Amino acid sequence: MNEAKILVERHGSILTIGINRPAKRNAIDVEMFFEMATAYGVLDQDPELRVGIVHAVGDHFCAGLDLPKWQDIITNGRMPEYPEGSCDPFAMADGRICRKPIIFAVQGICYTFGVETMLAADVRIAARDTRFAQLEVKRGIFPFGGATVRLVHEIGWGHAMRYLLTGDEMSAEEAYRLGLVQELVEPGQQLDRAMQLASSIAAQAPLAVQATLASARESLRDGEDLAFAGLFPRLMQLSGSEDVKEGLQAFMERRPGAFAGR
């Protein structure tokens, strides 16, 4: 019996999604992509889940797409239908974007698909041995998972072009300096640190966390004016929730809130 290439595990309110194809340096075939999309959908839809973590088994996070397996999709220029209830790991498909925070924990090589899905996530932890690269120009294609948009936003035009147009590797230290990753840890500690951060996020009011994420994303996708205009309407949607009452009560009683997500 073949071991699953995508490992999905629940840890209380945290869902971990593990890439498990170490013999191929965790290169992503089409089946793995849609298994990830299905796992993202579970995170999005299950009210008991509050945070997701994407990590990888072995020495490397991801060598990128298993290109021969993607040849038909690249030639046709469009993705197949997503499984019902799934969410796009690239976070580009309207109506299929996970509404809950996702943390990436990466190590070793993190190329192409690894970088682009990481860019679509919310917090990124990298081992100090991580090497990042968008290699598409070396293969005759270009980054079609969002890096031409998101990497520019994250690290600026000149820095983004320096790596997108050459396909050169970026060290973990350089990625941290430029703001591509938020923390560096010793190799082997990246998943533990991601779990710590996920636990901290999961302890907060879930509806408030999701509203914060939605407002920030609205600013990036639709512009600041629409995001500003949506602040108080979004706040009003939360105002009658049990979590708001619990938050105020916890504040007055000088204790952590016990939030139910209602």
Q: Is 136 a catalytic residue?
A: yes
Kindly report the backbone phi and psi dihedral angles of residue 200, in degrees, each rounded to the nearest multiple of 5, phi listed first.
Answer: -65, -45
Residue 150 has, within 13 A of its CA and on its CB side, a CA count of 21
Which residues are CB-neighbours of 178 under 8 A, at least 6 positions away? 154, 155, 156, 159, 170
Helix axes 157-164, 147-155, angle to 10 degrees: 130
**Cβ atoms of 21 and 27 closer than 8 Å:** yes
12 φ/ψ sector (left φ>0, alpha ψ -120 to 50, else beta)? left
Token pair, residue 10, equals 């629940």
Residue 65 β-bridge partners: 28
Q: Kindly name the residue from 84, 136, 169, 246 that is annotated as catalytic.
A: 136
Tens of pLDDT along the chain (262 residues) come to 578 999 999 999 999 999 999 999 999 999 999 999 999 999 999 999 999 999 999 999 999 999 899 888 888 877 888 889 999 999 986 668 999 999 999 999 999 999 999 999 999 999 999 999 999 999 999 998 999 999 999 999 999 999 999 999 999 999 999 999 999 999 999 999 999 999 999 999 999 999 999 999 999 888 889 889 889 888 888 888 888 887 777 778 888 878 877 8
**Cβ atoms of 219 and 227 closer than 8 Å:** yes
Q: Is 116 a catalytic residue?
A: yes
Q: What local confidence, expressed as pLDDT, does residue 237 receive?
A: 85
Q: What local confidence, expressed as pLDDT, does residue 23 receive?
A: 96
In 121-189, which ranges are continuous DSSP H helix?
147-155, 157-164, 172-178
Q: Kindly name the residue from 84, 116, 169, 186 that is annotated as catalytic.
A: 116
Please classify residue 57 by burial: count the beta carbons closer than 10 Å to its beta carbon, then call 0-12 exposed, 13-18 middle and 19+ buried. Answer: middle
Per-residue pLDDT reduced to its tens digit, 213-235 = 999 999 988 888 988 988 988 88
**3-state secondary structure (DSSP) of residue 131:** strand
Rounded to two decimals, what is the model's pTM? Answer: 0.94
End-to-end CA distance of the chain: 42
254 φ/ψ sector (left φ>0, alpha ψ -120 to 50, else beta)? left
Sheet order of strands, 109-111 included: 109-111, 131-133, 170-171
Shortest CA distance to 56 belongs to which of 82, 30, 23? 23
